[in-house]
Amino acid sequence: MKTPRLPWIRCLPSVLLVSAGLMAAPATDPLEPGEKAANEWIKTRLETSRIESAWVTEKPLLEATVNGLKERAQALEDRRDDFKVKTAKDREEIESLQAKNAAAAADLRAAETRLQSLIQKLVALRPSLPPRLSDALELSYRSLESSGLGTGERMQLVMTVLSRCEQFNHTVTSGEEALSIKGEPGLKSLEVIYWGLSYGYALDQKAGRAWYGSPGPNGWQWEPLADAGHAVGELIAIYNARADPEFVAVPAKLGQPLADGVTR
């Protein structure tokens, strides 16, 4: 007779329930966060120890480097101070030269202003110069009007014009000259004699006519001289040694106004 199996079957659900209870137990260990914190603290402590050890090892080198840099900086400061002492005189001379240069530049600007004013007066005076002198100064006047010249070159040209005018003013000048005379057709070839910059005489020897020249308000002008041809011809002949010296009476005017309002 066989043993019935029913009681074992009745115990099976209990076994299953116990197994299920064991499987459903929580998988998280309550000590795990503490273990992680301990591990992190150990790592931090090890890193701190490594840094402290490195600092202890490198500190003498860093201190030596800092001291070396301080000594170098001090040496450079000493060299700077020594250089300042040695160059003090040179710097004073440089400052003095700079001041002189500034003063010279100011003087040059003032001279340039006066020079430009003088050039303007010379240009305005040219129409009042005797035609012979004005023609002789053509190149100088043309150069003065050029804008590409420096102060020194223009000053030299001004001195040339003034020197030629002064020389002409202290001499009696005579010779043949082609003149444009108001009321006369074209240019006339005449014998001319100038008394400095003040006045002059022109003679048409063949026609026996004479003109009196002087600087007027509109420039140099020639005026006819009635019945003065013989006297002017005699004056020119004496100058050119074609006649014996003697006193010759010729008309003249004083105080003729020039272009700039100056009388001569």
Q: pLDDT tens, 121-159?
A: 999 999 999 999 999 999 999 998 887 888 889 999 999
Q: Does the pLDDT value for residue 24 go beyond 70?
A: no
Q: Which amino acid is at 118?
A: L
Is the CB of residue 179 less than 8 Å from the CB of residue 186?
no
pLDDT at site 19: 47
* Residues 102-121 pLDDT 10s: 998 898 889 889 989 999 99
The owner of tokens 């480097």 is 65
Between 35 and 262, the higher pLDDT residue:
35
Handedness of CA 96, 97, 102, 107 (dihedral sign): positive
Segments making up each domain of the chain, as ranges: 95-170, 172-264
Give residue 52's pLDDT band: very low, low, confident or very high (50, 70, 90). confident
pLDDT at site 255: 60
Rounded distance between C-alpha atoms, residue 100 and residue 106, angstroms: 10
pLDDT at site 124: 92
The closest alpha carbon to 259, from 206, 204, 227, 221, belongs to 221
pLDDT at site 11: 43
Q: Does the pLDDT value for residue 21 go beyond 70?
A: no
pLDDT at site 26: 54
Lookup: tokens for 42: 């150990």
User: pTM value?
Assistant: 0.58
Q: Does the pLDDT value for residue 205 go beyond 70?
A: yes
Between 255 and 257, the higher pLDDT residue:
255
Give residue 37's pLDDT band: very low, low, confident or very high (50, 70, 90). confident
Between 45 and 264, the higher pLDDT residue:
45
pLDDT at site 28: 65
Is the CB of residue 232 less than 8 Å from the CB of residue 207?
no
Q: Does the pLDDT value for residue 16 go beyond 80?
A: no
Strand order in the sheet with 187-195: 172-180, 187-195, 199-204, 209-216, 219-225
Q: Which residues neighbour 104 within 8 Å (Cβ) at sequence distance 6 or greater?
A: none
% the chain with pLDDT above 90: 36
Q: Does the pLDDT value for residue 249 go beyond 70?
A: yes
Is the CB of residue 161 less than 8 Å from the CB of residue 145?
no
Rounded distance between C-alpha atoms, residue 158 and residue 2, angstroms: 158
* Residues 54-100 pLDDT 10s: 888 888 888 888 888 888 898 988 888 888 888 888 888 898 989 99
Q: Which residues neighbour 55 within 8 Å (Cβ) at sequence distance 6 or greater?
A: none
* Residues 167-200 pLDDT 10s: 999 999 999 999 988 888 888 899 999 999 999 9
